[in-house]
Chain A
Amino acid sequence: DTAVSQTPKYLVTQMGNDKSIKCEQNLGHDTMYWYKQDSKKFLKIMFSYNNKELIINETVPNRFSPKSPDKAHLNLHINSLELGDSAVYFCASSQAYGGRYEQYFGPGTRLTVT
């Protein structure tokens, strides 16, 4: 069983378009995250949600809007895509309390903006 899944795995689109990436976890975790991995493989946190509540919102453009319909799902919508948005986006999940904070990552979504 896949613990953290993301769709789609690849996304190729043109500048100015709007796209969404979906993430689901079946680990029973209460916290989910979005990370961005740039072309140099550097990973940086974008957002985190705990039980559908936004906890972390790093300095990310307003064009990026996360949504968490329930604690097992976290989606990322991106408006007006730009060339610089090309990256691999990883979803992750963990527990926020109880001492077991390890994050499990999805397979990633490679976004290419042309």
Chain B
Amino acid sequence: AQSVTQPDIHITVSEGASLELRCNYSYGATPYLFWYVQSPGQGLQLLLKYFSGDTLVQGIKGFEAEFKRSQSSFNLRKPSVHWSDAAEYFCAVGAVEYGNKLVFGAGTILRVKS
């Protein structure tokens, strides 16, 4: 069965501090992976994506993520968090073999303290 785990429900970081949000997946096919961000009452915005190739991918708003096949992980990082980054972050996994449906993690709520 396909599953995505985001172990941290909430994370609080100080503005200017670095951030890492964890994502682990279990998938029976070659996956592609995404991170999405959702602000309260809003839709999902694509932050970054990994299909193949270079395992370190850059996204919008200064985010990056690293795909580690051996650890089945796709962790999201940002070197310096801004107050506007406070939102909920979702990791998602898909595969062509499964009709491109996305399986989402439960989300991590990021709080930024000034």
Question: With A43-B104, A56-B99, A56-B101 given, is the CB distance from A107 to B43 under 8 Å?
Answer: yes
| A99 & B106 in contact (Cβ 8 Å cutoff) | no
| B101 & A102 in contact (Cβ 8 Å cutoff) | no
Question: With A43-B104, A56-B99 given, is the CB distance from A105 to B90 under 8 Å?
Answer: no
| B43 & A105 in contact (Cβ 8 Å cutoff) | yes
> What are 15 sample pairs from A and B whose C-beta atoms fall under 8 A apart?
A41-B38, A43-B90, A48-B100, A55-B99, A94-B100, A96-B100, A101-B51, A101-B94, A101-B96, A102-B46, A102-B49, A103-B46, A103-B102, A104-B46, A108-B43
- Flag whether B44 is at the interface (Cβ < 8 A): yes
Residues of A with C-beta under 8 A to B100 = 31, 48, 94, 96, 101, 103
- Residues of A at under 8 Å CB distance from B? 31, 33, 35, 40-45, 48, 55-56, 58, 90, 92, 94, 96, 99-108
Question: In the complex, what distance in Å separates the CA atom of A107 from the CA atom of B43?
Answer: 4
Residues of B with C-beta under 8 A to A100 = 51
Q: Smallest CB-CB separation from A97: which chain B residue?
A: B96
Chain B interface bracket (under 10, 10 to 19, 20 to 34, 35 or more): 20 to 34
| A90 & B44 in contact (Cβ 8 Å cutoff) | yes
Q: CB within 8 A of A33: which of B34, B96, B101?
A: B101
- Flag whether B42 is at the interface (Cβ < 8 A): yes
| B43 & A106 in contact (Cβ 8 Å cutoff) | yes
Q: Smallest CB-CB separation from A102: which chain B residue?
A: B49
Residues of B with C-beta under 8 A to A106 = 43
| A101 & B32 in contact (Cβ 8 Å cutoff) | yes
Residues of A with C-beta under 8 A to B104 = 42-44
| B101 & A99 in contact (Cβ 8 Å cutoff) | no
Residues of A with C-beta under 8 A to B64 = none
| A42 & B99 in contact (Cβ 8 Å cutoff) | no
Task: Digitize B63-97: 1 where CB-to-A-CB distance is under 8 Å, 0 elsewhere.
Answer: 00000000000000000000000001010101010
Question: In the complex, what distance in Å separates the CA atom of A108 from the CA atom of B38?
Answer: 11
Q: Smallest CB-CB separation from B109: which chain A residue?
A: A41
Question: With A48-B99, A55-B99 given, is the CB distance from A102 to B34 under 8 Å?
Answer: yes
